[in-house]
Amino acid sequence: MFGHLAPTRYSYSDVEKMTSCFGHKIGQGGYGGVYKVKLNNGSPVAVKVLNSSKSNGKKFFSEVISIGCTYHINIVSLLGFCLEGSTRVLMHEFMANGSLEKFVYTERQATPNLNCEKLLKIAIGIARGLEYLHHGCNIGILYFDIKPHNILLDDDMHPKILTLG
């Protein structure tokens, strides 16, 4: 959908405008809040405003550039970011079914669309994404935070690994 483009840097005021002053919150976690926005071309995007960080901006920027240079069907695309002072914002492709966590930790009756065949396809997709990160991309990213919370599912239940945020 988005192709292979370097992530765009946005100002905080741009992020405020895009999110209508953070009006459509779709999630909250220990990392911060997530908002759903539509880009000018109509594509939905998840905007994650990270909690204030004491880490230096160089490390955040380095991670953004590293992940922004990767592209794989099983890796969530990083589309943009904001780094102003202690403010850290990440913009990812929007994944309609959210995280695998909500399907794994709910009653089986609540998730009838996850049969054995679908679960196998999800597991294979995750394995392919990890193989790409560890061996396939130019910079060789070692990913140690694999868990259902960091696996996002698109509208067809295809898995993608969330590598930042």
The catalytic residues are 145
Torsion of CA 144, 147, 95, 14, to 10 degrees: -50
The conformation of residue 18, written as its DSSP 8-state character, comes to H
**Cβ distance 46 to 36 under 8 Å?**
yes
List strands edge to edge, sheet with 8-9.
8-9, 78-84, 87-93, 44-50, 32-38, 25-29
